[in-house]
């Protein structure tokens, strides 16, 4: 990774003349960040001089054709007219060239790997050209998107770039009936019923959008998988999708249900050490690779939340993963094995936060080389804020993958605005303090997965701002060192307008938005206080679910004496799973980051916070701050009305209004509940919730979307 758009972008944006003084035409969001709107005149002049024609020096392929089509589409939009493709290099040509035709750049290209690219103005065959160079056709495609991105926002393109993580995938939690578990943007885009004969145009546009970010794999179906997905009809359907995605450098993966052969009645066990089971998976892999020669491999959720797995046969996770890995290894396939497990340990004494580490850490070094262990960013479950998962840095002999959740299961669905770039950044840049020499979480990774927020809604993600989370995931998967702010600015400039009067306030809204959600939902390290099953709305009072660790009361442990989960040595000692330096620091509430305070400590209500307030007053203050901030988000958006097309402005505005209501509900219900537990009076200035606690408890959301 060489130069990334950060301050560069901001300064260039300031140079752009104010645009869009008149009302912009309505947009529906389908074009995402690939809008390619006309540039203002001087930018057009500059760009024309860099792309008089388009020349491909090497052999054409479906992938180079995609690159050329995209360049022509982009330039047609931005300039009003697309340059023609030419056979010969001429002055001002935009040249796509692989290493073979660029002996003088071979050394530099060699540092960029299979997918990297370089972009520059240079001389080629006696002409001044704009060069997009790479070692592969997909590198040329990525370079083309990078060049177009810079052009669209008026920034200088990166000189060169290469991804740090080889594996950058989306996980679709999409069921075969098109219901999306934790999906808030309509149905699955994969119309399994219609496939393979009927291939929706969306598949192509999905591929474009992902390729523009550098995402190179997608798991089509839910980790809570079904056996049918590995039957011949569904393999044919997956193959039809793979055919569409292939030119865009995107491999198809499938979530495999561990008990598939047993449930299809083709074996009489799913024991990974059974030769019949091993043979079944080998044959199945052969069958899949016949239909999809570049099939990526399997994602597996095993022995977790009721899913079958190797432990059903007294085998361990490595036994299970390695058996599947052996089946796909001859085809260069991989297995992504999830570490999100809490299959046993229902007794109250166990801390769910510890379970993944307890089960997986001892297996380090026992996994086959083509197995990656996929670890959620935190140890509970995609909460608005969690400390990084203690497995990062703890399994040095095992390739690990990060699993982020792009869809906002716990951060307001597709109604509330929460830009996750800041959360991704917070986790990726966390210092694990593990050897060698204090690695960040990023440095412990071999791959990254994002649980998709994509659906059939016209704007793909339900809300326009949730497009930014897909975007940020993709950009940070490519470059985990990227700053969330720079990515937000890039996105806003492409999605709304490069006008700094738009970009600056939109970026400010985005940058504060996730902390706002934390404030009105689960401040100060609280977690897992949402409604049962659908996960909507506050429910800190729930204490009657089958498993203790499904209950919010298990997590916040609020009582007359105080609040918080003691994960120090005096409690569950989950802290001991972290590097000693972290464990030492977080053992004391005074040296624990305030934002994680109640994650690690159970503290009395009158505990003195650094602010000088009691914990009780601080907690209430955070809820009020969260509500106030949603009002500010709305007010700030309203000032942008003259600068954004009416349709998208109204659609965002409706959601921001809804978010205020949601924040007020969380604030009121949580304060009513915690007061009932603490028995403390509300400090002066804190408004009492308008309803009695029972009324909040009685609220029902019977048809909330996205159920599991």
Pick from 48, 178, 315, 625: which binds a copy of itself (CB under 8 A)? 178
Site for a copy of itself contains 81 (CB under 8 A): no
Site for a copy of itself contains 703 (CB under 8 A): yes
Site for a copy of itself contains 197 (CB under 8 A): yes
What is the Cα–Cα distance from 175 to 661, expressed in whole angstroms? Answer: 31
Site residues for a copy of itself, 254-313, by CB under 8 A, read none
Which region, judged by CB under 8 A, interacts with a copy of itself, from 101-109, 454-462, 576-584, 619-627? 454-462
Site for a copy of itself contains 199 (CB under 8 A): yes
Structural contact between residues 662 and 631, judged by C-beta atoms closer than 8 angstroms: no
Which region, judged by CB under 8 A, interacts with a copy of itself, from 195-203, 296-304, 401-409, 577-585? 195-203
What is the Cα–Cα distance from 485 to 6, expressed in whole angstroms? Answer: 8
Select 18 or 62, whichever has its Cβ closest to a copy of itself: 62
Site for a copy of itself contains 647 (CB under 8 A): yes
Structural contact between residues 168 and 424, judged by C-beta atoms closer than 8 angstroms: no
CB of 511 to a copy of itself, least distance (A): 24
What is the Cα–Cα distance from 601 to 564, expressed in whole angstroms? Answer: 5
Tokens of 38: 């006309």
Beta bridge partners of 404: 450
CA distances to 61, 100, 383, 487 from 511, rounded to whole Å, are 41, 43, 18, 10
Q: HSE-up of 389 (CA within 13 Å, CB side)?
A: 34
Site for a copy of itself contains 704 (CB under 8 A): yes
Tokens of 503: 């970009």
What is the Cα–Cα distance from 143 to 232, expressed in whole angstroms? Answer: 37
**Backbone φ and ψ of 426, nearest 5°:** -55, -45
CB of 474 to a copy of itself, least distance (A): 24
Is residue 381 flagged as an active site residue? Answer: yes
Pick from 366, 456, 585, 595: which binds a copy of itself (CB under 8 A)? 456
Site for a copy of itself contains 408 (CB under 8 A): no
Select 538 or 705, whichever has its Cβ closest to a copy of itself: 705
Site for a copy of itself contains 198 (CB under 8 A): yes
CB of 654 to a copy of itself, least distance (A): 4
Which of the following is catalytic: 27, 351, 359, 409? 409
Site for a copy of itself contains 381 (CB under 8 A): no
Pick from 190, 192, 496, 554: which binds a copy of itself (CB under 8 A)? 192
Structural contact between residues 281 and 317, judged by C-beta atoms closer than 8 angstroms: no
Structural contact between residues 571 and 565, judged by C-beta atoms closer than 8 angstroms: yes
Site for a copy of itself contains 654 (CB under 8 A): yes
Site for a copy of itself contains 566 (CB under 8 A): no
CB of 705 to a copy of itself, least distance (A): 5
Structural contact between residues 414 and 183, judged by C-beta atoms closer than 8 angstroms: no
Which region, judged by CB under 8 A, interacts with a copy of itself, from 62-70, 175-183, 510-518, 555-563? 175-183
Sheet containing 127-134: which strands, arranged edge to edge? 85-86, 53-56, 93-98, 127-134, 117-124, 160-161
Site for a copy of itself contains 40 (CB under 8 A): no
Nearest of 33, 251, 45 to residue 146 by alpha carbon:
33
Pairing of strands 297-300, 93-98: unpaired
What is the Cα–Cα distance from 48 to 92, expressed in whole angstroms? Answer: 8
DSSP code of residue 278:
H
CB of 512 to a copy of itself, least distance (A): 22
What is the Cα–Cα distance from 233 to 225, expressed in whole angstroms? Answer: 16
Q: Is the dihedral of CA 407, 409, 411, 412 positive or negative?
A: positive
Cis peptide upstream of residue 311 (ω within 30 degrees of 0) = no
Is residue 305 flagged as an active site residue? Answer: yes
Q: For the window 506-535, what string marks contact with a copy of itself as x by the rule CB under 8 A?
A: ------------------------------
Structural contact between residues 622 and 519, judged by C-beta atoms closer than 8 angstroms: yes
Select 208 or 389, whichever has its Cβ closest to a copy of itself: 208
Q: How many residues does the chain have?
A: 708
Site for a copy of itself contains 631 (CB under 8 A): no
Which of the following is catalytic: 381, 519, 645, 651? 381
Site for a copy of itself contains 661 (CB under 8 A): yes
CB of 581 to a copy of itself, least distance (A): 45
Select 436 or 703, whichever has its Cβ closest to a copy of itself: 703
| Secondary structure element (H or E) that encloses residue 355, with its range | helix 352-360
Is residue 409 flagged as an active site residue? Answer: yes
Which region, judged by CB under 8 A, interacts with a copy of itself, from 81-89, 192-200, 361-369, 614-622? 192-200
Beta bridge partners of 509: none
Select 120 or 647, whichever has its Cβ closest to a copy of itself: 647
Pick from 69, 108, 114, 228: which binds a copy of itself (CB under 8 A)? 228
Site for a copy of itself contains 695 (CB under 8 A): no
**Backbone φ and ψ of 450, nearest 5°:** -125, 130
Helices assigned H by DSSP within 435-534 = 467-478, 484-495, 500-521
Beta bridge partners of 244: none
Beta bridge partners of 298: 254, 335
CB of 702 to a copy of itself, least distance (A): 6
Site for a copy of itself contains 176 (CB under 8 A): yes
Site for a copy of itself contains 694 (CB under 8 A): no
Pick from 14, 28, 279, 362: which binds a copy of itself (CB under 8 A)? 28
Select 193 or 560, whichever has its Cβ closest to a copy of itself: 193
Q: Which residues contact 383 (CB under 8 A, 6 or more apart)?
A: 410, 522, 527, 528
Q: HSE-up of 552 (CA within 13 Å, CB side)?
A: 23
CB of 324 to a copy of itself, least distance (A): 23
Q: Which residues contact 241 (CB under 8 A, 6 or more apart)?
A: 190, 195, 199, 203, 220, 252
Which of the following is catalytic: 28, 305, 561, 581? 305
What is the Cα–Cα distance from 673 to 662, expressed in whole angstroms? Answer: 16
Strands (DSSP E) contained in 361-484 are 371-376, 400-405, 445-451
Which region, judged by CB under 8 A, interacts with a copy of itself, from 54-62, 189-197, 284-292, 621-629? 189-197
Select 199 or 429, whichever has its Cβ closest to a copy of itself: 199
Select 386 or 651, whichever has its Cβ closest to a copy of itself: 651
Which region, judged by CB under 8 A, interacts with a copy of itself, from 159-167, 400-408, 616-624, 699-707? 699-707
Beta bridge partners of 368: none
Select 243 or 431, whichever has its Cβ closest to a copy of itself: 243
CB of 410 to a copy of itself, least distance (A): 17
Site for a copy of itself contains 702 (CB under 8 A): yes
CB of 700 to a copy of itself, least distance (A): 8
Pick from 106, 344, 458, 641: which binds a copy of itself (CB under 8 A)? 458
| Interface contacts to a copy of itself, rule CB under 8 A | 28, 175-178, 186-187, 192-194, 197-199, 201, 226, 228, 415, 456-458, 647, 651, 654-655, 657-658, 661, 702-705
Active site residues: 305, 381, 409
């Amino acid at each position: 990774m060489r130069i990334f758009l950060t301050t560069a972008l901001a300064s260039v944006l300031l140079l752009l003349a104010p645009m869009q003084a008149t009302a912009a035409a309505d947009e529906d969001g389908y074009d995402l960040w690939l809008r390619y709107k006309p540039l203002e005149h001087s930018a057009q002049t500059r760009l024309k001089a860099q792309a008089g024609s388009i020349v491909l020096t090497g052999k054409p392929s479906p992938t180079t054709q995609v690159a050329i089509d995209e360049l022509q589409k982009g330039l047609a939009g931005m300039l009003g007219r697309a340059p023609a493709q030419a056979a010969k290099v001429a002055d001002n040509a935009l040249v796509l060239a692989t290493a073979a035709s660029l002996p003088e750049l071979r050394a530099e290209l060699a540092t960029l790997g299979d997918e990297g690219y370089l972009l520059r103005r240079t001389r080629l065959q006696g002409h001044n050209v704009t060069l997009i160079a790479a070692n592969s056709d997909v590198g040329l495609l990525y370079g083309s998107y990078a060049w177009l991105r810079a052009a669209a926002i008026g920034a200088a393109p990166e000189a060169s770039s290469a991804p740090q993580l080889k594996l950058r995938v989306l996980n679709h939690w999409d069921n075969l009936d098109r219901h999306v578990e934790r999906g808030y943007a309509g149905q699955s885009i994969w119309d399994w019923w219609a496939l393979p004969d009927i291939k929706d145009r969306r598949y192509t546009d999905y591929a474009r959008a992902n390729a523009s970010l550098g995402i190179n794999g997608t798991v089509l179906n839910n980790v809570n998988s079904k056996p049918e997905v590995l039957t011949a009809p569904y393999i044919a359907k997956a193959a039809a999708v793979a055919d569409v995605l292939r030119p865009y450098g995107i491999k198809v993966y499938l979530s495999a249900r561990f008990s598939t052969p047993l449930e299809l009645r083709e074996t009489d066990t799913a024991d990974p050490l059974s030769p019949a089971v091993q043979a079944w998976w080998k044959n199945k892999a052969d069958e899949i690779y016949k239909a999809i020669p570049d099939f990526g491999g399997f994602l597996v959720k095993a022995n977790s939340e009721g899913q079958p797995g190797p432990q059903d046969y007294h085998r361990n996770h490595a036994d299970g993963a390695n058996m599947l890995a052996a089946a796909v290894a001859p085809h260069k396939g991989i297995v992504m094995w999830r570490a999100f497990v809490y299959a046993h340990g229902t007794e109250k004494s166990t801390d769910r936060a510890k379970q993944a580490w307890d089960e997986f850490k001892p297996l380090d070094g026992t996994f086959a080389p083509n197995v990656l262990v996929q670890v959620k960013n935190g140890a509970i479950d995609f909460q608005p804020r969690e400390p990084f998962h203690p497995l990062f840095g703890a399994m040095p002999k095992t390739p690990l993958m990060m699993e982020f959740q792009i869809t906002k299961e716990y951060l307001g669905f597709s109604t509330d605005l929460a830009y996750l770039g800041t959360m991704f950044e917070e986790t990726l840049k966390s210092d694990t303090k593990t050897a060698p020499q204090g690695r960040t979480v990023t440095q412990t990774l071999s791959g990254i997965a994002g649980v998709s927020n994509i659906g059939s809604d016209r704007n793909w993600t339900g809300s326009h701002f949730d497009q930014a989370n897909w975007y940020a995931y993709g950009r940070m998967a490519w470059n985990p060192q990227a700053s969330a702010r720079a990515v937000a600015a890039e996105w806003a400039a492409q999605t709304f307008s490069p006008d700094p009067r738009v970009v600056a306030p939109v970026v400010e809204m985005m940058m504060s938005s996730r902390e706002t959600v934390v404030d009105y939902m689960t401040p100060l390290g609280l977690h897992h206080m949402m409604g049962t099953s659908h996960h909507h709305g506050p429910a800190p009072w729930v204490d009657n679910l089958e498993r203790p660790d499904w209950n919010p009361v298990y997590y916040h442990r609020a009582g007359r004496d105080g609040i918080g989960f003691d994960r120090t040595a005096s409690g569950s000692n989950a802290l001991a799973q972290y590097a000693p330096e972290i464990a030492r620091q977080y053992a004391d509430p005074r040296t624990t980051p305030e934002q994680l305070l109640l994650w690690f400590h159970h503290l009395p209500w009158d505990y003195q916070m650094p602010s000088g307030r009691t914990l009780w007053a601080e907690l209430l203050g955070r809820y009020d701050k969260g509500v106030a901030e949603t009002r500010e988000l709305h007010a700030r958006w309203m000032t942008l009305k003259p600068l954004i097309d009416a349709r998208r402005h109204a659609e965002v505005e409706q959601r921001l209004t809804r978010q205020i209501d949601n924040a007020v509900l969380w604030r009121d219900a949580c304060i009513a509940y915690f007061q009932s537990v603490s028995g403390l009076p509300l400090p002066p200035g804190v408004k009492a919730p308008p309803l009695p606690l029972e009324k909040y408890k009685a609220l029902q959301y019977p048809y909330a979307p996205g159920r599991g």
